[in-house]
Amino acid sequence: MNNIYKPHLAVIKEVIEESFDTKTFRLKFKDDKTHNLFTFKPGQFAEYSAFGDGESTFCISSSPTRKDFIECSFKVYGKVTQSLNRLNKGDTIGIRGPYGNSFPLDDLKGKNILFIAGGIGIAPVRCTIEYVLDNRDQYKNIIIIYGARSTGDLIYKDEVKEWIDRKDVKTIITVDPGGESPSWKGEVGFVPTVLEKTAPASENTAAILCGPPVMIKFTIPVLTGLGFKDDDIYTTLENRMKCGLGKCGRCNIGNVYVCKDGPVFTYAQIKCLPQEY
């Protein structure tokens, strides 16, 4: 019988130092057949293992439209991410997944999409942006708002430059007040303030919003004030997980399993979750 917890082995083909505390691993499964058969959708996540130290949950930050590698980006945090941080090009890690639901990008065809990301929340958003850009003719106006604490915290600098250079995407990058370097040419301000100033049209528009809870908390009222309906606001919940596939009960809120029923939820769905959340 197949062991559902057994990870596939993947080799680190490249380590990208995104910032002082965040890295991206460019990965390829050791087994070519596994690599070719591995499919996922934007918003899904996987369990990544550092052998001997355990597993960590990260979204898949590359787009399924770019098949040569899969990528994950992680902030160095606790035991497992510290262990992953010590690995180098050529080393092997384990991957289980993909797990969870995804952003409903088929249903969003023909709509405008507003992407809002803060901190490491840019990882699932980057995957989704690249998917949409690789299918650009199927979506209308694209606006990207990405905020970080400081210029030193910004990640995906090459990708961000490409988004800024594109004429068919409006990209706004902001850092928190006090976080700007002397040469900074982007916005200065918290994400909700910058969103309010940008005032994107809500008609026929879906908002995809990922970031720290405090950012989500203050951004949703701005979206609502701009006329976005609860059903048109998509975000991800990042409850602590163990199994990733609805077995251990670690991630649940009431009878909702974030790993299986999420991590993507509309604001309308989140409003129905038990008060304790």
Ligand X SMILES: Cc1cc2nc3c(=O)[nH]c(=O)nc-3n(C[C@H](O)[C@H](O)[C@H](O)COP(=O)(O)OP(=O)(O)OC[C@H]3O[C@@H](n4cnc5c(N)ncnc54)[C@H](O)[C@@H]3O)c2cc1C
- Nearest approach, Cβ of residue 240 and ligand FES (Å): 8
- Tokens encoding 18: 């995104």
Nearer to ligand FES, 169 or 251 (CB): 251
Distance CA 44, CA 117 (A): 16
| One residue of 116, 263, 264, 265 binding ligand X per CB under 6 A | 263
Residues 238-257 interacting with ligand X (rule: CB under 6 A)? 238-241
| Residue 250 binds: one of ligand FES, ligand X, none (C-beta under 5 to 8 A by kind) | ligand FES
276 burial type by CB count under 10 A (0-12 exposed, 13-18 middle, 19+ buried): exposed
- Nearest approach, Cβ of residue 252 and ligand FES (Å): 6
CA distances (Å), origin 99, targets 36, 42, 120, 273:
18, 11, 19, 21
Say if CB 185 and CB 151 are below 8 A apart: no
| Residue 244 binds: one of ligand FES, ligand X, none (C-beta under 5 to 8 A by kind) | ligand FES
Distance CA 70, CA 30 (A): 12
How many residues at the interface with ligand X, by CB under 6 A? 21
What is the x/- site pattern for ligand X, positions 207-226, by CB under 6 A? --------------------
Residues in the chain: 277
Backbone dihedral region for residue 108 (phi beyond 0: left; psi -120 to 50: alpha; all else: beta): alpha
Question: In which residue are the tokens 């905020």 written?
Answer: 147
H/E segment holding residue 126: helix 122-134
Residues 157-196 interacting with ligand X (rule: CB under 6 A)? none
| Residue 56 binds: one of ligand X, ligand FES, none (C-beta under 5 to 8 A by kind) | ligand X
Distance CA 150, CA 119 (A): 10
| Residue 248 binds: one of ligand FES, ligand X, none (C-beta under 5 to 8 A by kind) | ligand FES
Determine phi and psi for 76, rounding to 5 degrees. Answer: -75, 125
- Tell me which amino acid residue 82 is: Q
* 79 is an interface residue for ligand X by CB under 6 A: yes
Using CB under 6 A as the criterion, which residues of the chain lie in contact with ligand FES when the complex forms? 241-244, 246-251, 257, 259
- What is the end-to-end Cα distance of the chain in Å, rounded? 37
Nearer to ligand FES, 132 or 256 (CB): 256
Determine phi and psi for 109, rounding to 5 degrees. Answer: -60, 140
- Nearest approach, Cβ of residue 240 and ligand X (Å): 4
- Nearest approach, Cβ of residue 157 and ligand X (Å): 17
| One residue of 81, 102, 151, 235 binding ligand X per CB under 6 A | 81
| Residue 59 binds: one of ligand FES, ligand X, none (C-beta under 5 to 8 A by kind) | ligand X
Residues that bind ligand X in the complex, under the rule CB under 6 A: 45, 56-59, 61, 73-75, 77-81, 120, 123, 238-241, 263
